[in-house]
């Protein structure tokens, strides 16, 4: 039965409190994106059960309702018409969502996320190498191996392992200036200033003492002539000041002089303010915060770590976890290791164990199909699918995960477990703890087993609507999770002949093939839109995975849909949240209605532009009618080239 788009739109409009509660509305390739004036007016149960909706969740200040390719366009058109609402671009919706966030603390957390998320790959690379180098040195010192360090091979690795942390302020300066809306290259200059070789390296102060001070107000106030190696907050604050000055100068300086006057004055004034006041004050504040955290970590019997490990997952739900990178980096600079990362890893493993228990105990096939891959993803350190798609939905598993994470963190603290770097948790987190692998395994076991046991004991499949009134329906859903609604009727369900045929979808890009559950987007990771695979691209060219017809192409170019000649409905969604780039990185070579052959070039993609915007270009290849197949087999965890098998349909 065809979806009544007008009815679907009306149900959502009524559920969110009517058109008067809509601040802004737009849609992307798969979901309706709404910014609301008052969230308390939302009838969440009505949103959960809205006709045609495959789920919903709240993210980045937006209520996002999932409909799927093609359907969302038509529901959106009816939604706009019914409510007499002015259509908005995705950028306008994002801006409106940001304006809706009035909580200064949450806005600060979001800002820290915008600053640190883009530089995490660099930190992860250096952190992993630091862990490996540290482990090699440990084994050499204890006679397990003989390590030759007087060769180029070792020395180059040693250089790479230290580079990101040595010049961290430059990376943060560039990223922070961009987040504040300032010239990122001027932000990099401020970062260079704070670690300029003309300043005493902060890492030598503990052993050599402060070598030089300069008077600001003779007899009253002097500053220590030391660098800011290892300190992250001063450079962020400095870039905020830089942005404030630069934006105002652009408005008042004549255009003929703007090119050299604005950068000169912006950098000079920011330098004076930072070196004379901001730097000393915030170094003191940062040291006080780290001291407080370290005090909690040293409480008897690991009680402080127990509390932190238990509360870590709830902070993921609120988004506060974006600030934790600063804690890791601060501890590495101060102590040479981070005691925080093992706590985060324990918390993630706890949520993984809880979701695994749901997967093994449930009798609901659809719950199992979501819970199992979500738990595996969480064991790899990506917890959003498990938290939002499974544990929060049933709540008791979420609590079980928090308990397991807390106990695992307590054990980690008692054993003195520390990591050489940051950015990687879960199974691969052991690479940062190679000096203490046994302790890491013990922490892992405690977190996972405790969470699994409690979750398994407490979880029960919810009573379905069918058990209440003999009407087929899906289980209720939380506000944060994609709805596990019954799949759209397939031809077999209606008694018609099956129209799909077995085929193999080819990789549309060159890169690394990964599981759909590893995509850092809750909609795709939960497989609410359908199953398939994803590719982390290395070359910006998108090819047709099979012969067929182009059925959808978003105006922003970030998603392309096609129906293959064998009947598969395929959506290729390029990147996470790339809808906000308004089409700039994408150059399509086809239009809707075009027939294409397997391997035909569909689109050129500027991967550097996507990464420069701080976004992940991972591309989901989703079979949106996967329920029409008996088996969908992805070929993942390996490098692929265009034309090689990616998804087998049978």
The residues annotated with a catalytic role in the active site are: 28, 573
CB atoms within 10 A of CB 23: 18
Output the CA–CA distances (angstroms, integers) from residue 626 to 124, 359, 495, in the order listed. Answer: 35, 20, 18
How far apart are alpha carbons 348 and 357 in whole angstroms? 15
Q: Are 560 and 28 in contact (CB under 8 A)?
A: no
In terms of Cα–Cα distance, which of 233, 348, 346, 335 is closest to 293?
Answer: 335
* DSSP secondary structure letters along 269-332: HHHHHIIIIIHHHHHHHHHHHHHHHHHHHTSGGGHHHHHHHHHHHHHHHHTGGGGHHHHHHHHH
- How does DSSP classify residue 119? G
Q: Could you tell me the strand order of the sheet in which 531-537 lies?
A: 595-596, 548-553, 559-564, 569-574, 619-623, 531-537, 511-514, 638-640
Q: Are 301 and 313 in contact (CB under 8 A)?
A: no
How far apart are alpha carbons 150 and 615 in whole angstroms? 40
How far apart are alpha carbons 34 and 83 in whole angstroms? 13
∠ CA(376), CA(628), CA(588), 5° rounding? Answer: 80
How far apart are alpha carbons 255 and 174 in whole angstroms? 24
- How does DSSP classify residue 596? E
How far apart are alpha carbons 2 and 345 in whole angstroms? 46
Helix axes 303-318, 340-361, angle to 10 degrees: 70
How far apart are alpha carbons 76 and 8 in whole angstroms? 10
Handedness of CA 504, 508, 512, 518 (dihedral sign): negative
Residues with Cβ within 8 Å of 556's Cβ and at least 6 positions away in sequence, in order, are 28, 90, 578, 579, 581, 582, 583, 586
∠ CA(569), CA(571), CA(575), 5° rounding? Answer: 170
How far apart are alpha carbons 490 and 368 in whole angstroms? 21
How far apart are alpha carbons 461 and 625 in whole angstroms? 26
Q: Are 37 and 22 in contact (CB under 8 A)?
A: yes
Ranges of H-type helices in 380-502: 384-386, 392-394, 396-415, 437-458, 465-469
Pairing of strands 601-605, 541-543: antiparallel
Residues with Cβ within 8 Å of 142's Cβ and at least 6 positions away in sequence, in order, are none
**218 exposure class (CB count in 10 Å sphere: 0-12, 13-18, 19+):** exposed
**416 exposure class (CB count in 10 Å sphere: 0-12, 13-18, 19+):** middle
Ranges of H-type helices in 219-278: 233-252, 255-273
């Amino acid at each position: 039965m065809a979806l009544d788009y007008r009815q679907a739109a009306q149900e959502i409009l009524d559920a969110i409190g009517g058109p008067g509660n809509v601040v802004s509305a737009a849609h992307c390739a798969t979901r309706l994106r709404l910014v609301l004036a008052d969230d308390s007016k939302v009838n969440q149960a009505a949103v959960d059960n809205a006709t045609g909706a495959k789920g919903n969740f709240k993210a980045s200040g937006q209520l996002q309702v999932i409909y799927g390719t093609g359907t969302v366009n038509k529901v959106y058109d009816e939604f706009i018409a019914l409510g007499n609402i002015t259509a908005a671009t995705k950028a306008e919706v994002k801006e409106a969502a940001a304006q809706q966030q009035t909580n200064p603390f949450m806005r600060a957390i979001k800002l820290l996320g915008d600053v640190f998320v883009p530089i995490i790959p660099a930190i992860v690379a250096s952190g992993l190498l630091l862990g490996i180098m540290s482990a090699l040195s440990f084994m050499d010192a204890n006679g397990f191996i003989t390590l030759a360090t007087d060769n180029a091979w070792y020395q180059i690795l040693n250089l790479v392992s230290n580079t990101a942390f040595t010049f961290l302020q430059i990376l943060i300066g560039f990223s922070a200036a961009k987040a504040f809306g300032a010239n990122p290259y001027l932000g990099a200059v401020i970062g260079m200033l704070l670690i300029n070789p003309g300043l005493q390296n902060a890492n030598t102060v503990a052993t050599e003492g402060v070598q030089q001070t300069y008077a600001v107000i003779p007899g009253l106030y002097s500053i220590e002539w030391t660098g800011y190696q290892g300190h992250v907050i001063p450079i962020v604050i400095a870039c905020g000041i830089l942005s404030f000055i630069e934006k105002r100068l652009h408005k008042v300086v004549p255009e003929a002089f703007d090119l050299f006057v604005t950068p000169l004055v912006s950098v000079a004034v920011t330098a004076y303010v930072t070196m004379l006041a901001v730097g000393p004050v915030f170094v003191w504040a940062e040291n006080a915060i780290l001291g407080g955290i370290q005090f909690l970590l040293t409480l008897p019997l690991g009680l402080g770590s127990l509390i932190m490990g238990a509360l870590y997952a709830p902070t993921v739900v609120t988004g506060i976890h974006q600030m934790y990178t600063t804690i890791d980096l601060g501890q590495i600079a101060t102590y040479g290791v981070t005691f925080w990362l093992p706590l985060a890893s324990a918390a993630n493993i706890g949520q993984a164990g809880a979701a695994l228990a749901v997967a093994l105990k449930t009798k609901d096939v659809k719950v199992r199909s979501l819970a199992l891959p979500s738990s595996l993803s969480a064991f790899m350190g990506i917890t959003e699918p498990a938290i939002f798609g499974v544990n929060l939905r049933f709540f008791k598993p979420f609590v079980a995960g928090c308990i397991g994470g807390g106990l695992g963190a307590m054990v980690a603290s008692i054993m003195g477990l520390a990591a050489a770097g940051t950015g990687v948790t879960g199974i691969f987190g052991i690479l940062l703890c190679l000096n203490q692998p046994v302790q890491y395994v013990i922490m892992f076991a405690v977190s996972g087993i405790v969470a699994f046991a409690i979750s398994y004991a407490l979880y029960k499949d919810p009573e379905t609507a069918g058990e209440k009134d003999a009407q087929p329906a899906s289980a209720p859903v939380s506000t944060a999770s994609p709805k596990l609604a019954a799949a759209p009727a397939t031809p077999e369900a209606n008694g018609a002949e099956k129209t799909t045929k077995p085929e193999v979808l080819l990789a549309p890009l060159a890169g690394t093939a990964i599981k759909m559950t590893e995509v850092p987007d809750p909609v795709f990771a939960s497989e609410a839109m359908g199953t398939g695979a994803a590719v982390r691209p290395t070359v910006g060219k998108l090819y047709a995975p099979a012969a067929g017809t182009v059925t959808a192409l978003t105006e922003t170019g970030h998603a392309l849909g096609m129906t293959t000649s064998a009947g598969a409905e395929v959506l290729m969604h390029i990147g996470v949240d790339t809808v906000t780039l308004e089409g700039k990185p994408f150059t399509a070579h086809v239009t809707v209605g075009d027939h294409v052959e397997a391997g035909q070039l569909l689109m050129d993609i500027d991967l550097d532009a996507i990464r420069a915007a701080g976004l992940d270009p991972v591309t989901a290849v989703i079979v949106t009618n996967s329920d029409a197949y008996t088996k969908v087999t992805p070929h993942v965890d390996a490098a692929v080239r265009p034309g090689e098998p990616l998804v087998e349909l049978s």
